[in-house]
Amino acid sequence: MTHVGPADRYPSATGRRRSSRWVIVLLGVLVVALGIGIAYVGYREFGVKEIEGKQVSFEVVDDSTLTIKMGVTRQDPSRPAVCIVRARSRQGDETGRREVYVAPSDSGTVQFDVPIRTSRPPVIGEVYGCSFDVPAYLEVN
């Protein structure tokens, strides 16, 4: 009969230490990756934007027209831009949309009124978004 000692019956503590080190390293890498991801999303959402359009106010003119007063802020106001504005019905459906050419200017922020024709009575107007990618049919030569 072969003698089996206590060390042969139980797993060694060295093997457990190695695997727990890997778990700690893996958790550290995951925490760092999560932190980088959160920082990236925060910068995209709350960082300085090249161009941003905002609704200042709106006025329902009649059952088929809404006028939105909007402001556009650009880091480089010498670049032309385009913004999309829209009107929505009481149900939340988009009832009118318009692309607006924003000409180059000396001021970083410009404001103007934009009338929007609608297919149903509008209740709200909003700036959907702005971009420096101006379509050729909107460009002024």
**Distance of alpha carbon 40 from alpha carbon 21, whole angstroms:** 29
Higher pLDDT, 42 or 106: 106
Phi/psi class of residue 113: alpha, beta or left (left: φ > 0; alpha: ψ in -120 to 50)? beta
Phi/psi class of residue 15: alpha, beta or left (left: φ > 0; alpha: ψ in -120 to 50)? alpha
Mean pLDDT of 1-24: 65
Say what the pTM is.
Answer: 0.65
pLDDT band at 56 (very low <50, low <70, confident <90, very high): very high
pLDDT band at 129 (very low <50, low <70, confident <90, very high): very high
pLDDT attached to residue 9: 61
pLDDT band at 131 (very low <50, low <70, confident <90, very high): very high
Count CA within 13 A, CB hemisphere, residue 36. Answer: 6
Task: Please check the confidence at residue 45 and state whether its pLDDT lies above 80.
Answer: no
pLDDT attached to residue 48: 67
**Distance of alpha carbon 69 from alpha carbon 53, whole angstroms:** 11
User: Nearest 5°: phi and psi at 2?
Assistant: -90, 140
pLDDT attached to residue 23: 85
Task: Please check the confidence at residue 83 and state whether its pLDDT lies above 60.
Answer: yes
pLDDT band at 7 (very low <50, low <70, confident <90, very high): low
